[in-house]
Structure 1
Amino acid sequence: MVLYVISFIDRINVGFAALTMNRDIGLTPYLFGWGAGIFFFGYFIFEIPSNMLMARVGARKWIARILFTWGVLACAMALVTGPVSFIVLRFLLGVAEAGFFPGVILYLTYWFPVRYRARIISAFMLSIPVSIAVGAPLSTLVLGINRALGLKGWQWLFIIEGLPALLGAFVALGLLTDSPDRARWLTDQERDWLKRELAADDAAPGTSGKISALGKALLNPSVILLAFIYFCATGANLGLSFFLPQIIKQQGYSTVAVGLITSIPYIAGCLGMLVIGNLSDRFNERRWFLAGTMVLAAAGLVGASILGASIWSIVALSVAAIGIFGCKGPFWTLPASYLRGPAVAGGIAFINSIGNLGGFAGPYLVGLFKTSSDSYADGLLALAGFCVAALLVTLLFIRPRRDAESASFSVLDASQH
C-alpha cells in the first residue's frame, strides 16, 4: 500500500505540475492530455510480459526493479523542455511502471483466501485516494519552492516525489516475502492454516470450470468484458485525476487552496472504498455493488458539469470519487474467481493493460473538449459516459455463479455450467 501511494503520486503529480509547467514548456490542454495519457500506452505494451516475469522471478525482486526504474524516470521528468520530451518521458514512465499494479493483485492472491479479498484489495487500493489526498497539498506546497538552486517549482516537484520510489526499491528487497512458504515471521501452525485455506479455494466446487490456459483466458468473452469495464472505470478515474487541479484552479482558488480542495473528493473516495469493499465481502455480492458504484460515479460527474464553479460541484465530485474508487474492491475480486494457474497472472495483467488504455482516453477527451469549448463541463460529461457504459455492460453481461465460498462471474455460465 505504501509503495502504491508512491506510485500513484508519481503518476498523477503531473496534474499539479501543469499549473505552472504548461506555460513554461508550451503545453496546450490538448498536448497535456496527450502526454498525461500516453503513460498508459507504455503501460499497456509491457503489462503482460511484466506480470508473467514477476510470477517467474518472484515479487520481491521484480517489484524492486519496477520501483527503481520508475523512480529514475520520475525524477527525470524535471528535465522536460517542451512537448516532445514531455510526451517521450511520460511514455517511458509507463513502460517502467508496467506490471506493478497487476503484480500486486496477483501477489495478494498468494496470501489471502477468496472470502477476504474484496476488503483486502480495497484496503490496498485505498492508497489511490490517499495518495491524492496527501499528494495534492504536498504537491502545491512544493510548487512554491521556485528558483531554488536554479530549478522551478514543478521541477522540484518531480525530483522530490520521485526519490521515494528509489528508496522503496531497497525497502521492497528487504521486507517483501514471495510466498507463505518463505515467511519466517509465520509460525508453522499459521503457515499450515493459510496453505490449507488457499488449497480449499482451489478445490472448491466450480473451480474445475475455471480457465487455466493463458491463451484461452485472453480470448475469453468474460475477460474481454471485464477489461472493457475497467477501461471505462479507469478513463473516468484518470480523466478526473489529471485535470481536477486545473478544474478547481479555474474556479478562482489560489494554488495552495487548490491542493487542499482537491483532497476533499479523495477523502470521500477513501471512505467509499473501505465501506463498499467490506459490504461486498459481507454480502458475498460483486455485480450489484460494482453497478452501484458506476451509478454514483456517473451521477457525480454529471452533477459537477451542471453545477459549475460552486461548492456544490465539489460535493458532486466527492460523490463521483466514492463511485470511482469504491468499484475497485468488488471489481478486482472477479478475475481470480474464475481464472486459475498461469491464466491468473496473465488474465489480471491483460484486464489491467486494456483497462489502463482508458487512462489515455479519459485525459485525452477532457483536454480535447477543454481546447474546443474552453470549458471542462463537456469533458466531465464524457467521463460520465464511460461510467454509464461500464454500468450497462455490468448489468447486461456479468452474471453471478455462486459456489461454496465465493461468487464467480462469467458471461459463459449459462453454456458452460
Structure 2
Amino acid sequence: MNAATVGEGMDATHRLATHKAMLRLLPLMCAIYFLSFIDRTNVALAKNALAADLGISAGAYGLGAGIFFIGYALLEVPSNLIAHRVGPRRWIARIAVSWGVLSTAMMFVRGEWSFYVLRVLLGIAEAGLFPALMYMVTLWFAPKDRAVAVGWIYTAPSLALMLGTPLGAALMQLGGVGGLRGWQWMFLLEGVPTIVAGVVLYFKLPDRPGSVKWLTPLQAQSLETHAVIDTHGHVELFSPDWFAAIRRPTTVLIALIYFLNQVAFVGLYFFTPSIVSQMHVKSPLLVGLLSSSVGFGFLVGVLALPRIHRRVSNDCAFLGVLTAGLVVSGLVFIESASQTVQIVLLGVTGFFAGGILPSYWAVAMKRLQGIQAAAGLAFINTIGLLGGFAGPYLFGLAETWSHRSDAGFKVIVAASAIGLCLVPLLARAIRLAQRPAAARAAAFN
C-alpha cells in the first residue's frame, strides 16, 4: 500500500469521524445555546409590559438589558479557564442550571433595581457558556471545519429570534391565569426547561473524542490529531501561555471588531419588537412574528456565509465585504419611508450582522489552540459582551432623545463603519504574525 492510498484512507476516516461528531455534538450544543438566547432576550418582549406594570422607562430598560453583559464579560476568561481544567461537560451543565434558575426568578421583578440586580446575576450565571462551546469546537474539529461547525451553532440564536419571539408573545397571553401577569408566565415557562437541559447535558455531552464509545479509536485519534487537541489540566492564574494569547494584535483587533458588531447586533435584537411596535402594529403576536425577520436573516446568514467563507482565501476581504453590507443596509433603513421595506431590511441587517459571526471565530481559532484557545476565545467574547452592554444602552439613549426606537439604526451605522475601518488593520496584523520574529520587529521599527 503506497503513501497516497494511506493518506486517502486517513482523510476518509477523518471525514467520517467529523460527520459523526457533528451529528452527535452540534444538536446538544445548539439546544443549550438556543435556550440561553431565549432566556437572555425574552426581556425584549416584556419591555412595554414592564413599563406599563412597573414603570420601567426606555432608558432603564436599555440599561437593564445591557447590564446583563457586565457580569457576563468580567467572568468570561476565568470561567473558560475552569472549563479547560475540569472539562466543558461539567462546566456547561453547571452554567445551564444556574442561569435557568435566575431566568425563572425574573418573574419576581418589582422595579428598576430588582430588574438590574437579576439581569446582572443572570449574566454572571451564564458567563463562559459561549466560549466554552467555542473551546469545544477547537477540541473536536479541524480548522477547515470550524466555520461550518460554528455556523451550525449560530443557527440556535437565529432560531431563537425567529421562534422565541412568537413563542414568548403567545406565553404573554396567559396574563391573568393563576394571578400572574403575562410576562411572569413567559419568564417561568422559558426558564424551567433550561434547568432540565443542564441536567441532561451533564450525562450526554462528552468532553473529548477519546471519551466516547461511538467513535472507533482510529476515528478519535484522527479528530484529536486534526484538531491539535490538548489535555485538561491545572492552569496557573498568571500563566504566560494564556497571557500571550490575549496580548496578540490579531486577538485584540478581532475582539474590537467583534465589540462593534455586538453594539450593532445586540442593540438591534433587543429593540426590534419596539421598532415594529412603532409601525402601528398593535397585536403582540403580530409584533412577535414581524420581529422574527431579524432571526430569519440571521439564520440564512449563518447557514450560507460560512460555506462561502470556506472557499475564500482572504479572510479579511470577506469580513470587509460583510461589514460594508451591514453599513449599507443600515443606511438604506434610515432613508426608507416604506414600512414593508423596513421589515425586509431588518432581515437583511440580521443577515450581515449575524451571518458574519462564525467568520470572526473561525479567523480567531486559526491562531489559537489549547490553553491559548481557552483564554483567547474567552477574551474576545469578553470584549464582545461589553459591546452587548453598550448596544442596548445606546439604543435606549437614542430612543429617549428622539422618541423613536428606530433611531438605534444610527448606532448600527456608526459602529459598523468604525468596524470596517479596523478590518485593514487586522489584515496587516495577520500578515505580520505570519512573518518570522525578526521581520516582525523590523516592521514595527
TM-score by length of 1: 0.92
Aligned equivalent of 2:180: 151
Output the CA distance in 2 between the equivalents of 1:413 and 1:269.
Answer: 43
Counterpart secondary structure, 1:252: coil
Does the 8 A contact of 1:134 with 1:263 survive in 2? yes
Tell me, in whole angstroms, the C-alpha distance in 2 between the residues paired with 1:285 and 1:155. 48
Shift of 1:216: 2.1
2:358 alignment partner AA: G
Structure 2 partner of 1:333 = 362
70 and 286 in structure 1: CA distance in 2 versus 1, 3 angstrom threshold: same
Pick from 363, 366, 374 the counterpart of residue 345 of structure 1. 374
Any gaps of 5 or more consecutive residues in structure 1?
Answer: 203-210, 403-407
Partners of 2:429 and 2:401 in 1: how far apart? 43
Q: How far apart are 1:378 and its partner, in Å?
A: 2.9
Distance 2:434 2:144 in 1: 15
Question: Post-superposition shift, 1:188?
Answer: 2.1
C-alpha change, 1:414 and 1:147, in structure 2 (3 Å) is: farther
Query: 1:257 matched to which residue of 2?
Result: 286
Contact map agreement 2:323 2:416 (CA 8 A) in 1: yes
CA RMSD of aligned residues (A): 2.2
1:289 and 2:318 aligned: yes
Q: Per-residue deviation at 1:341?
A: 3.0
Q: 1:277 aligns with which of 288, 295, 306?
A: 306
2:330 maps to 1:301: yes
Contact 1:287 1:330 in 2 (8 A): no
Would the aligned equivalents of 2:155 and 2:302 in 1 still touch at CA under 8 Å? yes
CA distance in 2, matches of 1:378, 1:409: 42
Contact 1:304 1:314 in 2 (8 A): no
Does 1:222 pair with 2:250?
yes
Q: Deviations over 1:42-66 (max 9, x none)?
A: 1111111100000001111100000
Structure 1 letter corresponding to 2:383: I
252-261 or 217-226: which moved more? 217-226
Find the aligned partners of 2:357 and 2:438 in 1 and give their Cα distance: 23
Take 1:2 and 1:353, find their aligned partners in 2: how far apart are those partners? 22
- Is residue 310 of structure 1 aligned with residue 335 of structure 2? no
Change (3 A) 1:103 1:414: farther
Distance 1:172 1:409 in 2: 39
Distance 2:132 2:427 in 1: 24
Structure 2 equivalent of residue 193 of structure 1: 222
Per the alignment, residue 208 of structure 1 pairs with none
Show the 5 A alignment for 1:102-117.
Answer: 102-117=131-146
- Name the residue aligned to 2:397: 368
Q: Does the aligned pair in 2 maintain the 1:308–1:377 contact within 8 Å?
A: no
State how far apart, in whole Å, the 1-side matches of 2:359 and 2:240 are: 22
Q: Please give the alpha-carbon distance, in whole angstroms, between the structure 1 residues aligned to 2:434 and 2:47.
A: 41
Provide the residue aligned with 1:381 in structure 2. Answer: 410
Q: Which moved more, 1:371-380 or 1:319-328?
A: 371-380
CA distance 1:354–1:401, change in 2 (3 Å): closer
| Residues 126 and 273, structure 1, Cα contact 8 Å, conserved in 2 | yes
Q: Deviations over 1:329-381 (max 9, x none)?
A: 21101222122332111111011011110111111111101111101343211
Q: Does 1:23 align with 2:52?
A: yes
Q: Which has the larger radius of gyration?
A: 2
Q: Secondary structure of 2:174's match?
A: coil
What's 1:415 paired with? 440
Aligned residues: 403
- Which residue in the other structure is 2:41 paired with? 12
Aligned match of 2:259: 231
SS of the residue aligned with 1:338? Answer: coil
Instruction: Kindly report which structure 2 residues correspond to 1:101-140, keeping only aligned pairs within 5 A, or say none.
Output: 101-140=130-169
Q: Please give the alpha-carbon distance, in whole angstroms, between the structure 1 residues aligned to 2:312 and 2:42.
A: 37
**Runs of 5+ unmatched residues, structure 2:** 1-29, 231-238
Distance across 1 between alignment mates of 2:55 and 2:136: 42
Which residue type is aligned with residue 273 of structure 2? P
**How far did residue 401 of structure 1 move?**
5.5
Cα distance, 1:283 vs structure 2: 2.4
User: Which runs of structure 1 show a deviation greater than 6 angstroms over 4 or more consecutive aligned residues?
Assistant: none
Contact 1:286 1:331 in 2 (8 A): no
Distance 1:94 1:268 in 2: 26
Instruction: Quote the offset at 1:413 in angstroms.
Output: 11
Q: Does 1:241 align with 2:266?
A: no
